Amino acid sequence: MTVETTTERATAGRFRYDKDHPRYKWVALSNTTLGTLMATINSSIVLISLPAIFRGIGLNPLAQGNVSYLLWMIMGFLLVTAVLVVTFGRLGDMYGRVRIYSLGFVVFSVGSLALGFDPLDAGGGALWLIGWRIVQGIGAAMLFANSAAILTDAFPSHQRGLALGINQVAALAGGFLGLLIGGVLSEIDWRAIFWVSVPFGVIGTVWSYKSLHELGSKRAGRLDVPGNVTFAVGLSVLLAAITYGIQPYGSHTTGWLNPWVLAGLIGGVVLLVLFCVIEATVAEPMFNLSLFRIRAFAAGNLAGLLASISRGGLQFMLIIWLQGIWLPLHGYSFESTPLWSAIYMLPLTVGFLIAGPASGALSDRFGARAFATGGLLLTAATFLGLLFLPVDFPYWLFALLIALNGVGSGLFAAPNTAAIMSSVPAGQRGVASGMRATFFNAGTSLSIGIFFSLMVLGLSGTLPGALDSGLQAQGVSAGIAGQISQLPPVSSLFAAFLGFNPVEQLLGPTGALSQVSAGQAATLTGGHFFPSLIAGAFHHGLAVVFGAAAVMSVIAALASLSRGQKFVHDDEATA
């Protein structure tokens, strides 16, 4: 009988590493980084691609009643990932993190494949896409919930910062890479936007099932059904209410006074409070509230939530700023602005990629507090810099500010994730990873509602008057100009966000373009009229948005500062 003394072996012509081989941890890192990157790219890939998608299914997203399709294409994926990550983290603790993670690749691949085979048109086609985007989100939740736990199991405490830093930077950079990839693929075929993930999903599936091992300790028990139900329903209702709160209601520019929205907000909060009560009393909770007694865990998650909200708001505002104003002013057609806005935002991604792994590795040695807190303060400073930037900015200064913002986010994200995951017992890493991902994804979802509403608030005071006087100056009748100026500002925002010419979208149904001279019509629909018209009002809105983001970043920095010195949970001492 021969005893194997090496942890490397060839099995049926296939080379693999056993779980105790020193190179296994790098296999785990590369696979989980692929899964995280694939999921986060798809969280943003549709933002740039929405015009091509809706043209492909024959639907005008800006027509009356179609805005909901647009929002749910974005929010459905984010909502389901935010709701389910804790559940899948708990299931990973119970049945195996690698098992749930690998299944996530399968579910994600099936959803991606089905999205490109949309057999329907118009509203039916949009519902098909929304439904399968939710399936994609379920797969992404499985990946998000267990990737950090798998890495924490695989890496020793003195290398977790580096590993989780690389993984977290992939998560953050994926959101911006998705914009660039979506912009390129939408020029080819809208179906390619979804199908591009399929080969990577298949590779990830085979690779994870063949190469990853269960290293963490399983915690047998029962699923907390009351906790899962109240959490899922409560958070879903709350985020859905926020989604509809962005949309106009009656004569109001937003829907926050809509009785259904108010009922959703109140009902969602009540259910989440009930969820906390349930979790404090059940024997095997889904959301282990006792983990918040660990200062590093509680402070890290609070800082992560606030940073996620402010970062999500930055992404949407930069897209609108570039597509709606800056690029048209510099000679780019509205139709080409989605791709070019992604290209001009690349310094943000570069900043992530430079700072994230380096700060993660350094935090292994020096602790997370200095890097995470300093990164948040740098981020707050860049928000203030963007606030004072003129609407028609010099690009080098804009690129410098967003690159520094990326550096700040990279300095924060990796050490913060490593500190959170290292602070919890080994048997709780799955649920802790899910809880951390919940705060991350919920922050992104909340940012859409918060920052769109703040921007609409900033625009509503000055945009109507600017539209009314500007349209009349180009020969549009006072009646039509007054009618257009009273439309909700969100219509102009969505048009700019999607790469449509806002004035053409607003005036087209009224027939006003046929009632003015050819020169006036060319001016109205040209690349300079709308950006010049909205610049003052938009800058006022930006001041509100970036001011709020700066305040959130400072509060997050204070929370990060309160985490204390470097803390790594000692499982042997606990045992």
The pLDDT score that the predictor gives to residue 544 is 80
Q: Is the pLDDT of residue 401 over 90?
A: yes
- Where does the pLDDT of residue 8 fall: very low under 50, low under 70, confident under 90, or very high at 90 and above? very low
pTM for the whole structure: 0.77
Does some domain include residue 339?
yes
The pLDDT score that the predictor gives to residue 397 is 94
- Return d(Cα 34, Cα 26) in angstroms, integer: 12
The pLDDT score that the predictor gives to residue 220 is 57
Q: Is the pLDDT of residue 537 over 70?
A: yes
- Where does the pLDDT of residue 3 fall: very low under 50, low under 70, confident under 90, or very high at 90 and above? very low
440 in Cβ contact with 304 (< 8 Å): yes
Instruction: Give the alpha-carbon dihedral of 192, 194, 198, 199, to 10 degrees.
Output: 40
Q: Is the pLDDT of residue 53 over 90?
A: no
Give the DSSP H/E element, type plus range, for residue 9.
strand 8-11
Could you tell me which residues are beta bridge partners of residue 249? Answer: 252
More confident residue, 143 or 486: 143
The pLDDT score that the predictor gives to residue 522 is 80
Does some domain include residue 573?
no
More confident residue, 52 or 399: 399
- Return d(Cα 281, Cα 290) in angstroms, integer: 11
The pLDDT score that the predictor gives to residue 1 is 39
- Where does the pLDDT of residue 571 fall: very low under 50, low under 70, confident under 90, or very high at 90 and above? very low
- Return d(Cα 373, Cα 378) in angstroms, integer: 9
Does some domain include residue 8?
no
Does some domain include residue 21?
no
Residues 393 and 489 in one domain: no
Does some domain include residue 10?
no
Residues 245 and 364 in one domain: no
Q: Which of 144-153, 206-215, 527-536, 544-553 has the highest mean pLDDT?
A: 544-553
Range of the domain at 472: 460-541
Q: Which of 250, 269, 285 is the last residue of a domain?
A: 285
What DSSP assignment string belongs to 469-523? HHHHHTT--HHHHHHHHTS-HHHHHHHHHHT--HHHHHHGGGTGGGGS-HHHHHH
Amino acid identity at 138: I
Residues 271 and 374 in one domain: no
463 in Cβ contact with 534 (< 8 Å): yes
Q: Is the pLDDT of residue 130 over 80?
A: yes
The pLDDT score that the predictor gives to residue 399 is 93
Q: What is the 3-state secondary structure (H, E, C) of 199-210?
A: HHHHHHHHHHHH
Q: Which of 237, 253, 285 is the last residue of a domain?
A: 285
Does some domain include residue 12?
no
- Count structural domains, the chain: 3
**Per-residue pLDDT reduced to its tens digit, 303-334:** 888 888 887 777 778 877 888 788 888 888 77
Does some domain include residue 3?
no
Amino acid identity at 119: P
The pLDDT score that the predictor gives to residue 429 is 66
The pLDDT score that the predictor gives to residue 144 is 80
- Where does the pLDDT of residue 404 fall: very low under 50, low under 70, confident under 90, or very high at 90 and above? very high
Q: Is the pLDDT of residue 369 over 70?
A: yes
The pLDDT score that the predictor gives to residue 11 is 41
Q: Is the pLDDT of residue 569 over 70?
A: no
**Per-residue pLDDT reduced to its tens digit, 93-120:** 777 888 888 898 899 999 999 988 888 7
Stretch 218-241: mean pLDDT: 76
Residues 68 and 208 in one domain: yes
CB proximity list for 19: less than 8 A, separation 6 or greater: 213, 215
Residues 115 and 170 in one domain: yes
The pLDDT score that the predictor gives to residue 575 is 38
- Return d(Cα 25, Cα 151) in angstroms, integer: 7
Residues 302 and 440 in one domain: yes
Q: Which of 234, 254, 285 is the last residue of a domain?
A: 285
Residues 451 and 497 in one domain: no
CATH of the domain at 447: 1.20.1250.20
- Return d(Cα 342, Cα 319) in angstroms, integer: 8
The pLDDT score that the predictor gives to residue 417 is 80
Q: Is the pLDDT of residue 41 over 70?
A: yes
Residues 66 and 136 in one domain: yes
Residues 357 and 476 in one domain: no
**Per-residue pLDDT reduced to its tens digit, 249-292:** 776 766 777 888 889 889 988 988 898 888 888 777 777 777 78
- Average pLDDT over the chain reads 78
CB proximity list for 26: less than 8 A, separation 6 or greater: none
Residues 345 and 493 in one domain: no
Q: Is the pLDDT of residue 572 over 70?
A: no
Residues 406 and 497 in one domain: no
Does some domain include residue 4?
no
Residues 273 and 344 in one domain: no
More confident residue, 542 or 527: 542
